[in-house]
A and B are shown apart, each in its own frame.
Chain A
């Protein structure tokens, strides 16, 4: 999915050609650790930022960057008030299993690690820029959940209507990120 800078529309690149997806929204210039086009060096990994999305949770916003690593695999880098989370999408077969509903404070076990729901909220996409691995629409609202693991792992869920997506990753210390701007 890409956004067109010229007419601020977002376009979905599908096998059958382009499909109009929505508006680009407005992304105000805000000091952030990185921006579209940068290459991030985190530990031994190198990530090329291709897409920048901003979500609002009412009182504030946070940013999500879509990037690819050196083997072309996609990752999401979430930036919220300086805190960074690097995550990859989990295929459906690897989704965590639980009974009932997930709410704030609820515990679950995933791959021998205990997790606790630390955040449960809704976010609305307010701006898009660049390319993304899957469709995003400005104005679309998602429910998101963040689960913190005992060993530092972070599990995130993004729920829109009946569709859900799970991601797994870890916190990144901003002081350990090297930013190379184009």
Chain B
């Protein structure tokens, strides 16, 4: 087990752990087409008149 292998194993383990956590939270599964700006409302109640 030389230095290179040790570092590789540590980095891989960190990467896998970190990515697993992020994946667990659900990142990567969110819809990308959700309109975040407030536009003309349709079937709904609207903003009750207040535009912030």
A–B contact with Cβ pairs below 8 Å: the answer is no
A interface residues, Cβ below 8 angstroms from B: none
Which of B's residues lie within 8 Å of A, judged by CB? none
